[in-house]
Amino acid sequence: MDGLPDDEVCIGDRYRIGAALFEVTQPRVTCYRVGLRMGEPQMAALLVAHHRPGFYLRVIEEGEVEAGQAIIKVSTGPEAMTVEEIDRVLHLPGHTREQVERALRIPALSPGWQSSMQALLDQAEGGASSDSAGLSTAATAPPPAWPGFRPLTVTHIQPESRSVFSLHLAAADGSALPGQFLTVKVRPKGGVPPLIRSYSLSGEPGTGAYRISVKVEPHGAANNKLRAHIRVGDQLEAAAPRGTFYLTAGDNPVLLLSAGVGVTPVLAMLHALAREHSTRQVWWLHGARDGTEHPFAQESRELIATLPNARSTVYYSRPAADDRLGVDYAEGGRLSAEPIRRLGLPTDADAYLCGPASFMDSLTAALVADGLDASRVHTEIFGAGAALTPGIKGAATAPAPHRPAGPSTTHPTPSNPPPGATSSSAAQNPPQTSSSTCEPRRR
């Protein structure tokens, strides 16, 4: 795209391209993965420092767009605040109250950026320095232990359940906070670009090794390659641990809630609590399908037994005939809002949730409804979120495809579809997208 520099484009500007109308909503928030892919760990910081973040647009009017069409400015956003200026207000020191108030008067500014600007204003009104006040916890996370990627040696491979296995990677000088993740490069054959995936660290922090746990999925290219080809003694390129989902110090109760392979980061937190011989109240709540899909079952039981004020409730949604009620699991059914309400969880706790988006949304709402402050609920999604259309104005769903004229016919599904074709089940379950600016966590 030619033109449209960040110091000229304003939040709220509208542009027509072909038959579609777009509106500028916020500066682009650069994911650290850009630096990893380009071999420049400081890329995100460089884009901010050089005032070239880029920006997002939402679709106001849908229409066909083609390469070579002119980008026509239709209107200027209220306050005429450029992308470069608003990005500078949030990320760099020296902004003024007037700039923050101008930003908050722009209706097109995305909800996330509105919240950040409101945080800046609230802290300024409280008399404190407002530098970086609007940034998320990601901005204050500890710096990575090393730049870029470096090779780590696989020292052990351990099956954890029917679909989950763990890789132990030697890292004598490595450190991580309980709950963080490791990003690795998986190199397919044939000279194709490497697959970059992130996996939660599931082992005890500070042991001179990292343990990542991987769930094998039918179409998980990286996960399946690791399962099929990685061997003890092989090397895996890894970036330093990252992430803002980690256990924080304190003496108040801790709630660790997970579903499926979402257990991995909270298991690292449980390890940290056990190592410290913590006297905090610890509630371990986990949901699995059955005993064969319950990773780290024995390991978690042993850790809980070392904590004087810990209790555990495990839920199996479809217990097998040999799963023992009262031994392997406490209740049948899913870990959901209703069981949470019956437990009488402490309202001064910090809660850490990891699992599918629907699981976390439901349990977060239940915890808050029962009196837990929303700021004490910390969540980590694995996989992709539900399908959505973040750039489309409004929430209207697309109309169903119309049936073509003429008699209906039945066509067989080919047993070996050509490249690019999808089966009927794939068509009914389109690829999901995430509203996160970074690729979602893979396990």
Q: Is the dihedral of CA 190, 196, 201, 207 positive or negative?
A: positive
Provide the token pair at 414. 């080919």
pLDDT digits (tens, 9 = 90+) for 5-42: 999 999 999 999 999 999 999 998 766 666 666 666 66
Q: Give the whole-number percent of the chain exceeding pLDDT 70.
A: 78
Instruction: For the chain, report the end-to-end CA distance as a whole number of angstroms.
Output: 36
DSSP conformation class of 410: -
Provide the token pair at 9. 């484009």
- Please give the model's pTM, rounded to 2 decimal places: 0.69
Count Cβ atoms below 10 Å from residue 421 Cβ, excluding itself.
11
Tell me the Cα Rg of the chain: 24
* Exposed/middle/buried for residue 225 (C-beta within 10 Å: 0-12, 13-18, 19+): middle
* Exposed/middle/buried for residue 377 (C-beta within 10 Å: 0-12, 13-18, 19+): buried
pLDDT digits (tens, 9 = 90+) for 376-398: 999 987 655 444 444 554 444 44
Torsion of the alpha carbons at 306, 308, 310 and 314, rounded to the nearest 10:
50
Tell me which residue of 47, 48, 56 sits closest to 15, measured CA to CA. Answer: 56
Provide the token pair at 138. 């990601």
What pLDDT score was predicted for residue 49? 73
Determine phi and psi for 138, rounding to 5 degrees. Answer: -60, -30
- The CATH architecture to which 254-381 belongs is 3-Layer(aba) Sandwich (3.40)
Question: In CATH, which of 1.10.10.10, 2.40.33.20, 3.40.50.2000, 3.30.70.20 is domain 14-140?
Answer: 2.40.33.20
- The distance from CA 250 to its chain's CA centroid, rounded to whole angstroms, is 25
Say which amino acid occupies 437: T
Question: In CATH, which of 2.40.30.10, 1.10.357.10, 1.10.3720.10, 3.40.50.300 is domain 149-242?
Answer: 2.40.30.10
Run of H or E including 99: helix 97-104
Q: Where are the domains of the chain?
A: 14-140, 149-242, 254-381
pLDDT digits (tens, 9 = 90+) for 267-305: 999 999 999 999 999 999 999 999 999 999 999 999 999
Query: What CA–CA distance (Å, rounded) separates 406 from 410?
Result: 13
Q: Residue 76 — pLDDT band, cuts 50, 70, 90?
A: very high
Provide the token pair at 75. 């209107």
Q: What would the mean pLDDT of 156-174 be, rounded to a whole number?
A: 91
Q: Give the whole-number percent of the chain exceeding pLDDT 90.
A: 57
What are all long-range contacts of 141-146, with beta carbons under 8 Å and residues at least 24 apart? 141/242, 141/243, 141/244, 142/177, 144/41, 144/239, 144/240, 144/241, 144/242, 145/173, 145/174, 145/175, 145/176, 145/240, 145/241, 146/239, 146/240
* Alpha-helical runs (H) found in 15-78: 32-38, 43-49
pLDDT digits (tens, 9 = 90+) for 206-230: 888 999 999 998 888 889 889 989 9
